[in-house]
Structure 1
């Protein structure tokens, strides 16, 4: 479930709850305090991905605290 997962404060990538570092950028700054969820499937064709500065497919938090 998405609520149990951790969002990276650096890139907003959603990680599994047992991770110590972000699977996308390697940052150790992960948090449970996030809101909104977007799945990017084609970052090269997505205006949302461009706005979020996302270049990889995956799940991302819209707001990370």
Structure 2
């Protein structure tokens, strides 16, 4: 998991580290400095997704530095 990148803007964990931009929001601000993650499968029913502002299913970092 340490080799995965996370978007500083939307906190989405990137499945492929071969690209230099976020697959979700397009931001180029990616980092390896993050901690914890949550898997959101049904964002429309999730209180955590609402709190994080997540609208798409996926893996999201809880803390991004």
User: By the TM > 0.5 criterion, same fold?
Assistant: yes
Which residue is equivalent to 1:12? 11
TM-score, structure 1 length as denominator? Answer: 0.93
Note the 1:1-65 alignment, pairs <5 A.
2-15=1-14, 16-65=16-65
* Corresponding pairs, count: 64
Q: C-alpha distance in 2, partners of 1:13/1:50? A: 15
Q: C-alpha distance in 2, partners of 1:41/1:10? A: 20
Gaps of 5+ in 1: none
TM-score, structure 2 length as denominator? Answer: 0.93
SS of 1:36's equivalent in the other structure is strand
Q: Which has the higher strand share?
A: 1
Q: Which has the higher helix share?
A: 1
Gaps of 5+ in 2: none
